[in-house]
Amino acid sequence: METQLLNLPSQTHSMNSLSSKLKPLLSSKLVPFFAFPLSLTPNLPLSSSTRRRVSATNSLKLSANAAALKEGWLDSLSCPSPDTREDPISTSSDSCWVIGVDPDLSGALALLKTDSSGCSAQVFDSPYLPVRVGNRVRKRLDPRSIVELVRSLEAPIGTAAYIEQSIPFPKDGKQGWWSGGFGYGLWIGILVASGFSVVPVSSLLWKKELELAGGGSTKDDSRRIASALFPSLIDQLKRKKDHGRAEALLIAAYGKGLRMKVDPSLDMEKLVP
């Protein structure tokens, strides 16, 4: 039997040709690891003075960023509607009108106006309506009625509207957190869309200015001070549940810059029927 040897020159040639094409491609892509510089120097700890300088620099950057962010936020809350810029009641932002808002469900809107005869004050309860939530009926702010209320004020465009910032507390629960955030956002949206300059203010700030800060301060104290500042409205502040009216008035008073030492002899029992 004769053994036949297979001759495959064409295949061998093809493989050699492919290998020759791959060699320059691979050699151009692969880089020896020793081509990269390696640093074996350990990170030395910074001195205390250097750390202080770095910390101070970072603090300044954070403060500058925080100030810029706050300025941008406040600027976004001052947005007169284009279609109301030529309204007859439009004036500059240096208006003698000031609005104060307690955005809670039990809150209110207060309006202070100053003219040649003095300063007049008005207060309006926040409109709400019953809404079914799950198996219960709850109160919710009424957006349409709030819009109608704000329009009825006929306040000049650019009027400053001070609103208490909504801060959730653990004891309020999920419904309280939702309701507080909803009311705060709703009021801001309506006030900005109405052409007012909204100024959020923390409860701690305005209460401190009116000597209401501290653990011993109560909502009755808010009614007492509001009654002293606005004696013409004392009949609207008699009941315990009128604390929302009182706080809206005091927020407006803070925005207006009204300050006074309240007579501590003012007895709240005379205001509570």
Q: How confident is the model at residue 58 (pLDDT cuts 50, 70, 90)?
A: low
Which residues touch 222 (CB under 8 Å, ≥6 apart)? 212, 243, 246, 247, 250
| pLDDT average, residue stretch 239-256 | 94
Rounded Cα distance, 116 and 52, in Å? 56
Q: Supply the pLDDT for residue 250.
A: 95
* 107-139: pLDDT as tens digits: 999 999 987 777 889 999 999 988 887 888 888
Distances (CA, A) of 99 to 90, 103, 124, 164: 16, 12, 11, 11
What is the SS3 assignment for the chain? CCCCCCCCHHHHHHHHHHHHHHHHHHHHHCCCHHHCCCCCCCCCCCCHHHHHHHHHHHHHHHHHHHHHHHHHHHHHCECCCHHHCCCCCCCCCCCCEEEEEECCCCCEEEEEEEECCEEEEEEEECCEEEEEECCEEEEEECHHHHHHHHHHHCCCCCCEEEEECCCCCHHHHHHHHHHHHHHHHHHHHHHHHCCCEEEEECHHHHHHHCCCCCCCCCHHHHHHHHHHHCHHHHHHHCCHHHHHHHHHHHHHHHHHCCCCCCCCCCCHHHCCC
Of all residues in the chain, the percent with pLDDT exceeding 90 is 36
**Is pLDDT at 35 greater than 60 in this prediction?**
no
28-32, 67-71, 178-182, 212-216: the lowest-pLDDT one: 28-32
Mean pLDDT (the chain) is: 75
Closest CA to 206 of 168, 256, 241: 256
Between 23 and 228, where is the model more confident? Answer: 228
**Is pLDDT at 171 greater than 90 in this prediction?**
no
Region of 102 (left: φ > 0; alpha: ψ -120 to 50; beta: rest) is beta
Cβ–Cβ under 8 Å, residues 15 and 8: no
Between 70 and 26, where is the model more confident? Answer: 70
Cβ–Cβ under 8 Å, residues 77 and 196: no
Between 105 and 83, where is the model more confident? Answer: 105
Q: How confident is the model at residue 269 (pLDDT cuts 50, 70, 90)?
A: very low
For residue 208, which phi and psi values (nearest 5 degrees)?
Answer: -65, -40
Q: Supply the pLDDT for residue 253.
A: 93
Q: Supply the pLDDT for residue 174.
A: 66
Of all residues in the chain, the percent with pLDDT exceeding 70 is 58
Between 260 and 197, where is the model more confident? Answer: 197
Residue type, 151: R
Which residues touch 193 (CB under 8 Å, ≥6 apart)? 79, 81
